[in-house]
Amino acid sequence: MKILDSKFVKGFIKMADDGYHQGWHERNGGNLSYRLKPEEVESIRPRLMNNEDWQPIGAHVPGLGGEFFLVTGSGKYFRNIIVDPEACLAIIELDEKGENYRIRWGLVEGGVPTSELPAHLMNHEVKKRVTDGRHRVIYHAHTTNTIALTFVLPLKDEVFTRELWEMATECPVVFPDGVGVIGWMVPGGEQIAIETSKLMEKYDVVIWAHHGMFCSGEDFDLTFGLMHTVEKSAEILVKVLSMSHMKRQTITPDNFRALEPRFHISLPERFLYEKEEGPLDDLV
């Protein structure tokens, strides 16, 4: 099978293009990675290169030793992925120790995998472990409204989760574990990868202050849908904050609790705190 004809590559390209059309990927902003299934690797193995040198990952991920990933390239534009995927994407293989990678396909015009590769792989390792291997997609995008909120809301998991949940009833159903938040850090380095992977132990969504969002999911649709839902909620909150300094009514803690049996979810009580009545100015 030709690599570009494989279902997982087509799904990857569609997701990247969908994100670009949402306005989340200006210039070369954002990155995406997918952990291949063994049968997917075997279906394309005859098309893979074997002559590339091993390169250090910049992180130690032994839980991913020997795995293959489809990733976006560093400096590549999401808007060009659908036009020339072989120039913008790469399939990489990790060595058995999870310390080095080599390119097996793609980046035909030169280049290296995304500069956020350490963060992607450290988060893949965590999500592989905590989901028994179900999660295979890590997605980072520059989601406009979510970024805007990091300038005005306290950078606390409880505050962001509660405010996003209140904006639409589907939100606690789509991300019942809440969201994690990290203060501003230099992107592309080991420290932000470590801090994100810590939060990925309990969340599928991590917000990077003044930068964007990281999401993890089982497949392309679920991961894109998760980010889309969080960003839609953030958009509603931005509009509410722009219209009034008061919420006349909202979804209450007991309203959230009423969702649990109907949708078979369990919402952490730490997000269902009672608020003091007052202007939104008190929150921000």
Q: Which residues are annotated as a binding site for Zn(2+)?
A: 140, 142, 211
Helix (H, G, I), strand (E, B) or coil at 15: helix
Q: How far is CA 209 from CA 117, 151, 240, 244, in A?
A: 19, 8, 20, 24
Among this protein's residues, is 116 annotated catalytic?
A: yes
- The pair of structure tokens assigned to 193 is 């990868």
Helix (H, G, I), strand (E, B) or coil at 120: helix
Known binding positions: 140, 142, 211
List 40, 93, 116, 125, catalytic entry: 116
35 CB-near residues (< 8 Å, 6+ apart) = 64, 67, 68, 69, 124, 128, 136, 137
For residues 155 and 211, is the Cβ–Cβ distance under 8 A? no
b/e 1-29 (16+ beta carbons within 10 angstroms → b):
eebeebebbebbbebbbbbbeeebbeebb
Catalytic residues: 116
